[in-house]
Amino acid sequence: MVYEKLFNPVSIAVIGASRDPSKIGSIILKNLRITYRGKIFPINKNADELQGVKAYKSVSMIKEPLDLAVIAVPANEVLNVLKECEKKRVAFANIISAGFKESDAAGIKLEAAIKTFLKSAKIKVIGPNSIGVINTNPSYNTSFIDPNLKPFEGKTALVSQSGSILSVIVDDATLGKIGFSKIICTGNEVNLNSSEVLKVLSEDAKTGTIVLYMETLENGEEFIDNAIEASKRKPVIILRGGKSKISLATTESIISSLIDENLGYRLAFKRAGVIPVKGIEEILSLMRDASDIRIKNDEIFVITNAESAGSLMIDALNAVGIKAAKLNNNIANELEKALPKECKIQNPLDLLGDATPERYKEALEIVSKLNKPIVVIVSPQKTFMPIETAKEISEIRLQNHDLPIFPLFLGGLRVEKAKRFLREHGLPDYSYPHEAAHIIKKLYEYSTFMPPTFNAYTKTKIKVNNLKLKENEFGLAAKEIIDRLGIRTVHGVAFRTESELQKAIKIIGYPCVLKLALRNTAHRGRLGGVITGIKTYEDLKKAMNSINTKAANEHLKVSCYELYMDAEKEKKSKLELLIGAHRDARFGAIMAVGLRAGRTDALYDTTFLLGPISDKDIADFKTSKIGRLIYKIAKARTFEEIIDYLLRISKFMDLNKEIKDIEINPVFISEDGAVAADFKLFK
């Protein structure tokens, strides 16, 4: 395995090891000495020995093979050092040095030079601007984090682009007795990036959960693939930073104005089964439980000794979309027999303030037959025996190993011991209903993750590929492409002369829509260049005059018009949609379905689908607010037609990489189907 030399290095060099104990190079050497049992080579031009270890002038002076080089020299020396390492056939380098793209123009240049060198080099690099790498088994630590902080072995691998966020998570996890398999700061990711590290860790048997902190990604599609493969094996938890730094749209389409960078990440994470988290505190809760607990059921049973705590728990579950499990008659009868008659047999099941550990045990034994996850609340009541109750819960857990049980012990200091007991026996422990519900929801979503399938997408065939546009296309020119794409459009004809107009009317009929044929749609809008509901020849002439007058005022010459059928009138349409796609720079095509408000072109709500559209995306669209509306109003056949349009657009975006945006707006929707009435293509 190629990463053997990173995760189990025979020897590590510290290039830039320093005599000055306050210098990073010195702290790294110290951390390595404390943690690493292999051979260490400090590299320092001016020292023969550092911290009692023989030092070398350069890596070339070392005779033994070198698996990993830790580089902590000034930024402008890094490239030369890398070249020496390459010559020495070092397998991996971890560049700790900062002063690259994160700092200034000179740093950007230095980083670019390293990138260029690495394209043809064999050495693999983590960093620069990395805080280091920590492995727990076998152990080593190339970082300069506080040597007093000793992360210990556990199941979580932590990967972070930021050293400071990494330190905070390591700090708090270690304090909370949560261990790590590996801790990797990828820094500026000049070579090994989060995607690749994710792939490596997904195959690492010592890693049960992967936690990523990332701010940016280069190759979104590769990331999705790697994340899907990882999610099949273990939970991938991602905290993304820098969400507020949003880049601007690049085209003048409506659709691109609706989509920002964050949307791409959100859709990608969803597709890949990633567990997205909002903050560091969530990571800590999840780290403890994500490796071991699987929740395949979104109905939960709650057992409590205080009704109000039980109903707070149900409230919290409902708030995140988890339901209260219903009892069946058999189990209800059993409970009724076993419990005091004052107990109401319901969910939450209140065992009353005098509930003993035995009563908990009896109730749990019966309820566990439901085979649904159980939250067990123990709160300070008249009878309050947290340790003994914890022991009973742990027994039940042993008998039903696949049944998730979530103990929620309330009562501050008085339940500390019981909680420790639970944790030591492999049970999760939560402090509050809201927190528990939140984690349960995330674990449920992960546990039911299915890698995406693309059956419908694969079946979709279109006739347009590798389209080249000289400029953005609107009107009939765009319509022709949309027609070829297999999307129904209204009839439309262009005319320039009176005689062409006469022919056009014969084809189109009344009511009709007159449009100014101008490439620039902003112009068209300003000139009132779309006039609908034209019922007579007189109206039509009036409409043309109105446009001509406005154009003349702006010294524009109108030479060509387009005449369309009035789809709204013809089809008795009930809804108007925008359908289209925008090409996200990172994740590729994002399809959009927007609902226009009333009879206006104002978009009230929009739903997005990541391309290529998966079978699950289609299922999700059916249950989305807009999807349900369309289905309700326009029935199954029209709904399927819209799905078909979306699949075609998704395919179109994949086969026509030069197209930035496609915008079909409005699409008139009725039980008779979906018909597109205006069209735009942006390159």
Measured in whole angstroms, the distance separating CA 650 from the mean position of its chain's CA atoms is 20
Query: How many alpha carbons lie under 13 Å from residue 51 in its C-beta half-sphere?
Result: 21
Residues 6 or more apart in contact with residue 654 via CB below 8 angstroms: 588, 589, 611, 612
Lay out the site mask for its own copies across 64-83 (x = CB under 8 A, - = otherwise): --------------------
Q: CB-wise, 409 or 446, nearer to its own copies? A: 409
Residue of 6, 14, 24, 589 interacting with its own copies (CB under 8 A): 24
Q: CB-wise, 236 or 355, nearer to its own copies? A: 355
Residue of 414, 484, 535, 622 interacting with its own copies (CB under 8 A): 414
Residue 414: other Cβ atoms inside 10 A: 12
Q: CB-wise, 52 or 412, nearer to its own copies? A: 412
Q: Please tell me whether residue 610 binds its own copies under the rule CB under 8 A.
A: no
Torsion of CA 501, 507, 513, 517, to 10 degrees: -50
Q: CB-wise, 268 or 681, nearer to its own copies? A: 268
Q: CB-wise, 209 or 381, nearer to its own copies? A: 381
Residue 470: other Cβ atoms inside 10 A: 6
Per CB under 8 A, the segment of 36-44, 308-316, 520-528, 613-621 that binds its own copies is: 308-316
Long-range contacts of 44-52 (CB under 8 A, 24+ apart): 44/16, 44/17, 44/18, 44/19, 46/19, 47/17, 47/19, 50/17, 50/18, 50/19, 50/26, 51/26
Amino acid identity for residue 14 in this structure? V
Whether residue 511 is preceded by a cis peptide bond, meaning omega within 30 degrees of 0, is: yes
Q: Please tell me whether residue 183 binds its own copies under the rule CB under 8 A.
A: no
Per CB under 8 A, the segment of 45-53, 186-194, 229-237, 628-636 that binds its own copies is: 628-636
Residue of 87, 243, 296, 369 interacting with its own copies (CB under 8 A): 243
Residue of 227, 258, 314, 481 interacting with its own copies (CB under 8 A): 314
Per CB under 8 A, the segment of 87-95, 155-163, 481-489, 612-620 that binds its own copies is: 155-163
Tokens of 465: 């590929």
Per CB under 8 A, the segment of 55-63, 248-256, 279-287, 450-458 that binds its own copies is: 279-287
Per CB under 8 A, the segment of 306-314, 363-371, 492-500, 641-649 that binds its own copies is: 306-314
Q: Please tell me whether residue 312 binds its own copies under the rule CB under 8 A.
A: yes
Q: Please tell me whether residue 84 binds its own copies under the rule CB under 8 A.
A: no
Measured in whole angstroms, the distance separating CA 177 from the mean position of its chain's CA atoms is 28
Q: Which of residues 340-379 bind its own copies (CB under 8 A)?
A: 342, 353, 379
Q: Pairing state of beta strands 603-610 and 588-596?
A: antiparallel
Amino acid identity for residue 141 in this structure? N
For 5, 153, 176, 316, the CA distances from 138, given in Å and listed in that order, are 12, 10, 22, 42
Residue of 51, 58, 174, 394 interacting with its own copies (CB under 8 A): 174
d(CA 654, CA 109): 34
Q: Which of residues 191-220 bind its own copies (CB under 8 A)?
A: 213, 215
Q: Which of residues 557-586 bind its own copies (CB under 8 A)?
A: 573-576
Residue of 595, 662, 674, 677 interacting with its own copies (CB under 8 A): 595
Q: CB-wise, 58 or 103, nearer to its own copies? A: 103
Q: Please tell me whether residue 315 binds its own copies under the rule CB under 8 A.
A: yes
Q: CB-wise, 387 or 633, nearer to its own copies? A: 633
d(CA 35, CA 55): 18
Torsion of CA 506, 512, 514, 517, to 10 degrees: -60
Q: CB-wise, 219 or 311, nearer to its own copies? A: 311
Q: Please tell me whether residue 602 binds its own copies under the rule CB under 8 A.
A: yes
Q: Please tell me whether residue 244 binds its own copies under the rule CB under 8 A.
A: yes
Give how many residues touch its own copies by CB under 8 A: 80
For 5, 20, 23, 430, 668, the CA distances from 43, given in Å and listed in that order, are 20, 14, 14, 48, 71
Q: Pairing state of beta strands 349-350 and 473-474?
A: unpaired
Q: What are phi and psi of 338, to 5 degrees?
A: -80, -30
Per CB under 8 A, the segment of 54-62, 88-96, 397-405, 593-601 that binds its own copies is: 593-601
d(CA 154, CA 200): 17
Q: Which of residues 449-488 bind its own copies (CB under 8 A)?
A: none
CB of 450 to its own copies, least distance (A): 29
Q: Which of residues 109-128 bind its own copies (CB under 8 A)?
A: none
Residue of 48, 146, 218, 221 interacting with its own copies (CB under 8 A): 146
Residues 6 or more apart in contact with residue 41 via CB below 8 angstroms: 11, 12, 13, 14, 53, 54, 55, 56, 59, 62, 66
Q: Assess contact for 54 and 24: CB atoms under 8 A.
A: no
CB of 160 to its own copies, least distance (A): 9
Residue of 51, 431, 447, 520 interacting with its own copies (CB under 8 A): 431
d(CA 230, CA 569): 52
Q: Please tell me whether residue 521 binds its own copies under the rule CB under 8 A.
A: no
Q: CB-wise, 54 or 414, nearer to its own copies? A: 414
Residue of 388, 435, 640, 672 interacting with its own copies (CB under 8 A): 435
Q: Please tell me whether residue 257 binds its own copies under the rule CB under 8 A.
A: no
Lay out the site mask for its own copies across 522-561 (x = CB under 8 A, - = otherwise): ----------------------------------------
Q: Please tell me whether residue 161 binds its own copies under the rule CB under 8 A.
A: yes
Q: Which of residues 38-67 bind its own copies (CB under 8 A)?
A: none
Per CB under 8 A, the segment of 120-128, 140-148, 555-563, 636-644 that binds its own copies is: 140-148
d(CA 646, CA 446): 27
Count of residues in the chain: 683
Q: Which of residues 651-670 bind its own copies (CB under 8 A)?
A: 669
Q: CB-wise, 102 or 615, nearer to its own copies? A: 102
CB of 244 to its own copies, least distance (A): 5
Residue 398: other Cβ atoms inside 10 A: 10
Per CB under 8 A, the segment of 33-41, 218-226, 273-281, 453-461 that binds its own copies is: 273-281
Match 């500390």 to its residue by tokens.
416
Residue of 47, 387, 633, 655 interacting with its own copies (CB under 8 A): 633
Q: CB-wise, 231 or 670, nearer to its own copies? A: 670
Which sign does the torsion angle of CA 361, 366, 369, 371 carry? negative
Helix 280-289 vs helix 433-447: crossing angle, to nearest 10: 60
Q: Please tell me whether residue 434 binds its own copies under the rule CB under 8 A.
A: yes
CB of 162 to its own copies, least distance (A): 4
Comparing CA positions, the residue from 138, 118, 119 lying closest to residue 71 is 118
